Amino acid sequence: MQIQFYITGAAMRVNWTIGLVSILCMILSETAAAQDSDAYREEKALGADLARQGETQRESRNSQDRSVISLVSENDLFGGSDRNYTNGLRIERFAPASKARPWLRWAADVVPFVDVDQVQIRSGLGLSHAIFTPKDIEAPIPDPNDRPYAGWLYVSSTAVALANNRLDQHSLQLNLGVVGPSAGGAFVQTHWHELIDGKNPNGWDYQLHDELGVEIIAERLRRIRKSRLGPFEIDSAVFGGVTLGNVHTHASAGGMVRLGFDLDSDFGPPRIRPSIGGAGTFNPNDDFGGYLFWGAEGRYVVRNIFLDGNTFDENGPRVTARRRWVGDIQTGIAINIKSTQIAFTYVHRTEQFQAQDGADKFGAVSISVVY
């Protein structure tokens, strides 16, 4: 009986031990399965985030690999006047980044602060026209103390290096054209005013003479901060540049603040230089975006042919006391819908010469399309 009792007790202990081990194995198995499930969910979430980032990068690259065409119209009609810088038109096309010429990458490699392995390089061609007039356009003989009539027609070749992280943009632009009667300023303004029943500009016989115009413009924009304000993105950028030529020679610096959505799509809407704005390389990441923006720029002006007169004509029309320092303040809105951006900018430009009667006020409307 004693032997049977020990055998029975041993069997019970063995069965209890086996049962306990089985329970522990089940617990460990469930725990491992739960850990695997949590790890799977974490990996899946991480994969989804990476997929979204990859999709955004692919969309950005796809935009970079398509052409962009921009049309800009600037007019003092929005400022309620008809004087000084009275009208500007520009059309420009940027080729896909994949079409950049090898020599552009070589040229970018020698530019300070540009890492050619971390940028997308794009080239653009543009055609622009600008008109400048004195305050009283009906006078047959212009006021000698006011600015002269002038037209400026030119073509542009532009190279833009945009950092892959969207923090830096370098641009180099060459403008080549003509200032004077051959620019067609008189023809454009006269026929436009006939069409809208405006004042007849009578003083174009006293405009600047024909002169070949050359400009080289180098500029860098740097996004210094990007954060969120509720549902909106907000960023700020600073920029500086130098313009050399017989049309304009000046140094410039300024900044811009934007509030909205998809701010990485550009560095501001395109404008006609001298100006605060992007280079026209619009790269949308989302189907909808847009922003409000505010900016300011200061320029130290060494030469402005539209105030200083023709380079080799000391007796031609010109102002007598041009200001060295000129400032622009602007505000506006840009709306992005899929591959199209429409923007409006209002500009307040300080007086450029002592006899000028008040600041310049004008508006700029632009439309950019990725195709």
Q: Where are the domains of the chain?
A: 65-370
Distance CA 250, CA 244 (A): 7
Please count the CA atoms within 13 angstroms of the CA of 64 that sit on its side-chain side: 20
Query: For 147-203, what is each residue's pLDDT tens digit?
Result: 999 999 999 999 999 998 889 999 999 999 999 999 999 999 999 999 999 999 999
Q: What is the DSSP string of 19-84?
A: HHHHHHHHHHHHHHHHHHHHHHHHHHHHHHHHHHHHHHHHHHHHHHTS-EEEEEEEEGGGGT--SE
pLDDT value, residue 127 = 99
Average pLDDT over residues 293-320: 97
Q: How confident is the model at residue 103 (pLDDT cuts 50, 70, 90)?
A: confident
Angle at 250 between CA 125 and CA 248, to 5 degrees: 55
Burial label for 3, CB within 10 Å (0-12, 13-18, 19+), is exposed
Residue 98's pLDDT is what? 87
pLDDT over 60 (residue 58)? no
Whole-model pTM: value is 0.82
Is the confidence at residue 101, as pLDDT, over 60? yes
Average pLDDT over residues 336-358: 97
Q: 358, 245, 350, 361: which is closest to 305 by C-alpha?
A: 245
Q: What angle do CA 34, 38, 41 make, to 5 degrees?
A: 135
Residue 106's pLDDT band (boundaries 50, 70, 90)? confident
Question: What token pair was written down for 331?
Answer: 């505000």
Q: What pLDDT sits at residue 63?
A: 56
- DSSP single-letter state for residue 232: E
CATH code assigned to 65-370: 2.40.128.140
3-state secondary structure 341-359: EEEEEEEEECCCECCCCCC
